[in-house]
Structure 1
Amino acid sequence: MPVCPRLAALAVTIRDDEVLLVRRRNPPDAGLWGFPGGHVELGETALQAAARELAEETGVIAAPRRYIENVDMIRHGSDGALQHHFLLAAVLCDYLDGQPTAADDAFEAGWYPVEHVLAGNLPLSDQVAAVLRRALEVMQQEA
């Protein structure tokens, strides 16, 4: 078990009225839908990590625009022992090119209607809907 939280980045990419999501292959969120993302490497910003992880997991190229918010993901086992502790930096990314193809930790990848996602029509990782709502607010404020 790490002695401190692990830092990861999420690529929140919205194109028209759709958001790019992946279905996770591996724990802790295996089978759930969420934003592409992963660990921030030493010497890399979370903005850079979001764009890199997006390309690695989906083949989609995007430019990281700005941080949206941070999300703590802390999970305990049934015995109360700490299983996972991640600090996730959600990054708003501007789509540039590519069609989503699942790779790396992603079992599936694709564009999904924002309304469909917010209505709860997919089994989502914790905080996905809240982060998506925040991303839409940021985009509306910037428009």
Structure 2
Amino acid sequence: MTVAARPVVAALAVVIRKGAVLLVRRRNPPDAGLWGFPGGKVEFGETVEQAAIRELAEETTVAAVPGRAFAAVDAFDHDEAGILKRQFVLIAVRCRWLSGEPVAGDDAMEAAWFPLSALSDGTLETSLGVAEVAARATAEDAG
């Protein structure tokens, strides 16, 4: 397998509404089967905010308005032998819900709203950094 020479830039759509966070269960690696924010690769010529809104619509059918990017998460995809295959830089964009209820699409197996408390009580198997990014988004809302 060829190792990518550079990290892949991806956007995460962080949507929090009425004390609940919108998450998708990933269909594909990395993190297949885990819950995380809707998101994906930033396409050439696309802003991070545009990518977040596009991925949100593709994975959940939810419409939102992008706010600002507020956090970055490094994600590393290793093979069974522990060799690094791919590196992602995930840029979190706070998005304001406009309309729609989540319906899984694209590479999401499921899409749903979860109470913020579900991120810290261990009831959900999430991707690395999901609880921390959600906490930071809610802290920014309060501040």
TM (normalized to structure 1)? 0.95
TM-superposed deviation, 1:118: 2.3
Determine if contact 2:59/2:105 at 8 Å carries over to the other structure.
yes
TM (normalized to structure 2)? 0.95
For structure 2, list consecutive stretches of 5 or more residues without a partner in the other structure: none
> Quick one: distance in 2 between partners of 1:108 and 1:129?
18
Query: Quick one: which amino acid aligns to residue 129 of structure 2?
Result: Q
> Quick one: distance in 2 between partners of 1:23 and 1:76?
20
2:27 pairs with 25, 28, 35, which one?
25
Aligned: 1:2 with 2:4? yes
TM-superposed deviation, 1:75: 3.0
For structure 1, list consecutive stretches of 5 or more residues without a partner in the other structure: none
> Quick one: distance in 1 between partners of 2:105 and 2:91?
21
* Correspondence 1:30-69 to 2 at 5 A: 30-69=32-71
TM-superposed deviation, 1:119: 1.6
Q: CA RMSD in A?
A: 1.0
Aligned residues: 141
Query: Quick one: which amino acid aligns to residue 33 of structure 1?
Result: W
Write out the 4+ residue segments of structure 1 that deviate beyond 3 Å after TM superposition. Answer: none
SS of the counterpart of 1:102?
coil
